[in-house]
């Protein structure tokens, strides 16, 4: 049972709302149609005294393509918006996890194996072009210019337990999840 449900609630069925309210969930309705339910939820989190924290969005980049792009858009804009949590936000679906890497040097723990990560990763420039240098991937690059509509690092492979990525701009980083079960 969630602590809070927030959004415009335009599609919540009355019996579902009553169920959660009876079970102690705080319902916060925000009728603003100029922001998404994801942004409304992030703003609710920002009002939580436990902030900053990691935010994991289960089902991220799933469903309709337009909603997936909206989630990437909000992931990108949230990193610049002071009204949203000062948190690392992760979008997770059954196949992969993605998150933003900030300008500068980023180190990512990348243990491979059942129930952890598979070898495939991507570094996708969103918002603006970037120059990246990588270490720990099969096809490392040095001072490599990347842009949407130009060259992008997709389908690269993890070759180290720690990946280093130095980037001149924020970029989206994706890692494939290993869905096999540990023995």
Instruction: Give me the pLDDT at residue 183, please.
Output: 64
Q: Convert the pLDDT of each residue in 94-105 to its tens digit.
A: 899 999 999 999
Please list the alpha-helical segments (H only) found in the chain: 14-22, 37-46, 65-78
Number of H helices, E strands in the chain: 3, 12
Beta-carbon neighbour count of residue 128 at 10 Å?
11
Segments of the chain with pLDDT less than 70: 46-53, 82-86, 182-183
Q: pTM of the predicted model, to two decimals?
A: 0.82
Instruction: Give me the pLDDT at residue 61, please.
Output: 75
Contacts of 40 (CB under 8 A, 6+ apart): 6, 7, 8, 30, 32
> At which residue do the structure tokens 């070759």 appear?
159
Instruction: Give me the pLDDT at residue 49, please.
Output: 59
Instruction: Give me the pLDDT at residue 21, please.
Output: 94
């Amino acid at each position: 049972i969630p602590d809070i449900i927030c959004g415009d609630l335009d599609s919540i069925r009355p019996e579902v709302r009553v169920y959660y309210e009876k079970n102690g969930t705080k319902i916060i309705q925000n009728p603003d149609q100029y922001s998404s339910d994801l942004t409304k939820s992030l703003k609710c989190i920002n009002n939580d005294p436990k902030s900053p924290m990691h935010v994991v969005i289960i089902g991220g980049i799933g469903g309709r393509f337009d909603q997936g792009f909206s989630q990437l858009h909000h992931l990108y804009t949230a990193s610049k918006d002071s009204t949203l949590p000062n948190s690392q936000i992760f979008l997770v679906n059954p196949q992969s996890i993605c998150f933003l890497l900030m300008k500068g040097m980023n180190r990512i723990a990348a243990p491979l194996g059942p129930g952890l990560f598979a070898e495939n990763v991507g570094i996708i420039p969103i918002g603006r072009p970037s120059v990246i240098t990588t270490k720990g991937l099969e096809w490392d690059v040095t001072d490599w210019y990347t842009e949407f509509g130009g060259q992008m690092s997709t389908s690269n492979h993890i070759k180290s337990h720690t990946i280093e990525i130095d980037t001149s701009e924020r970029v989206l980083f994706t890692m494939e999840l290993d869905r096999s079960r540990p023995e």
